[in-house]
Amino acid sequence: MIDDNVVFIGNKPIMNYVLAVNTQFSGGVKEVVVKARGKAISRAVDVVEIVRNRFITEAKLKDITIGTEEITTKEGTLLKLSSIEIILEK
């Protein structure tokens, strides 16, 4: 999987990410991976649902995986964060 196919969900307005996914598909890729951690997980599901219900209705959910990532903060403490990876396929 090349990085170009990945859309990482952060704190920007949700339609920014919807547009990013749509742009990937318009560019000709067959799969887009939507990734998120922590509280952004809900937003990742929103993005995928908006894309496939409103914009690219032929897109299918290929796979959904969840996991736990360990992140070291600037202060040096270890943080465990849930993560999600949703693969959309056209």
Q: Which is nearer to its own copies, 4 or 49 (CB)?
A: 49
Q: How far is the CB of 74 from its own copies (least distance, A)?
A: 22
User: DSSP states of the chain as a string?
Assistant: --GGGEEE--SS-HHHHHHHHHHHHHTT-SEEEEEEETTHHHHHHHHHHHIIIII-TT-EEEEEEEEEEEEE-TTS-EEEEEEEEEEEE-
Q: Which is nearer to its own copies, 27 or 67 (CB)?
A: 67
Q: Locate tokens 């649902």: which residue?
A: 49
> By CB under 8 A, what part of segment 44-73 binds its own copies?
45-46, 48-49, 53, 61, 64-68
CB of 23 to its own copies, least distance (A): 21
Q: Is there binding between residue 89 and its own copies (CB under 8 A)?
A: no
Among 21, 40, 56, 87, binds its own copies (CB under 8 A): 40
